Amino acid sequence: MKIALFATCIVDAMYPRVAQATVEILERLGHEVVFPAGQACCGQMHVNSGYLREALPVVENHVRTFEAGFDSGEFDVAVAPSGSCVASVKHQHAMVADWAVEHGMKGADSTLARRADAVGARTYELAQLLTDVLGVTDAAAQLGSYLPGTITYHPSCHGMRLLHLGDRQRGLLASVEGLDVLDLPDADQCCGFGGTFSIKNADVSSAMLADKVANICGTGAGACAGGDASCLMHIGGGLSRERRTTPSGRPVRTVHLAEVLASTRESPLMFDGELALAGTPGGAR
């Protein structure tokens, strides 16, 4: 299958390793990965902040870039390592298109909503693509995923509630060889990021983050995994600020689902030259 990678703006600029890992997994399964160069951002930040006027060109760019590839057969589906960006493509793009028509915006295209829906219908979150389309249920057996250690898992709101990912992400993590997934108390509670919410309501957002960080550290896991780089940046920012460490004294980190799945015996996930997860020196378990 030919798969377009929608890296998302935050992964592209801040976490290229997550995009690399996504490519790695898909190529390991024998698929061809394409990176449409015109892509930029899903526009979620603008939409959620009420700047629909500014969201329109961002949405138009996304729809134009990806529909061109679908139409020409350059790729069959698109995938993003982010539940919230996929939710935005699926649920917000048509809304922005309708809004533009309703508000008589200059150059508003009455076909944009339908085109956006068509792009949205072929766009998948990573775990969704892996399980529902590519039939991956056992990461160790099918991807050779290997990462010794303990991890806890935060299901991000948009993946959980808008995409109904259910236990797809967690299931994939649990099937990685050597990895123990520890239950996170109040896992379904928002981490407090919410895009510009974290700036406009910084105090409430910080209080939500403090509880999330405390719950993560309470599990004793070496890292918190998730499927959204933005939530992980928020949680990781809190862990870093509070200088949180595991019982064995290593920093508690965040790690993206794609990085965990891409980790193998031959090339395990490393932080600072050490095996990623705490409590497992030398990788022995």
Residues between 179 and 218 with contacts to other proteins, criterion CB under 8 A: 188-190, 192-210
Asked if residue 52 binds other proteins (CB under 8 A), the reply is yes
Q: Which of 153, 165, 236, 263 touches other proteins (CB under 8 A)?
A: 236
37 burial via Cβ count (<10 Å: 0-12, 13-18, 19+): exposed
Q: Give the footprint of other proteins on residues 134-173 (CB under 8 A).
A: 157-158, 161-162
Q: Helix 229-241 crosses helix 202-219 at what angle (to 10 degrees)?
A: 80
Beta bridge partners, 4, equal 34, 78
**Cα–Cα distance between 115 and 179 in angstroms, integer?**
41
Stretch 241-260: interaction string toward other proteins, x if CB under 8 A: x-------------------
**Cα–Cα distance between 223 and 173 in angstroms, integer?**
12
Asked if residue 270 binds other proteins (CB under 8 A), the reply is no
Interface region with other proteins, contact rule CB under 8 A, candidates 135-143, 165-173, 214-222, 231-239: 231-239
Query: In the bound complex, what is the minimum distance in angstroms from residue 176's beta carbon to other proteins?
Result: 23
Asked if residue 80 binds other proteins (CB under 8 A), the reply is no
Which is nearest to 194 in space by CA: 48, 10, 35, 23? 48
Asked if residue 1 binds other proteins (CB under 8 A), the reply is no
**Cα–Cα distance between 191 and 188 in angstroms, integer?**
9
Q: Which of 95, 101, 118, 214 touches other proteins (CB under 8 A)?
A: 95
Asked if residue 121 binds other proteins (CB under 8 A), the reply is no
State how beta strands 270-271 and 274-275 pair: antiparallel
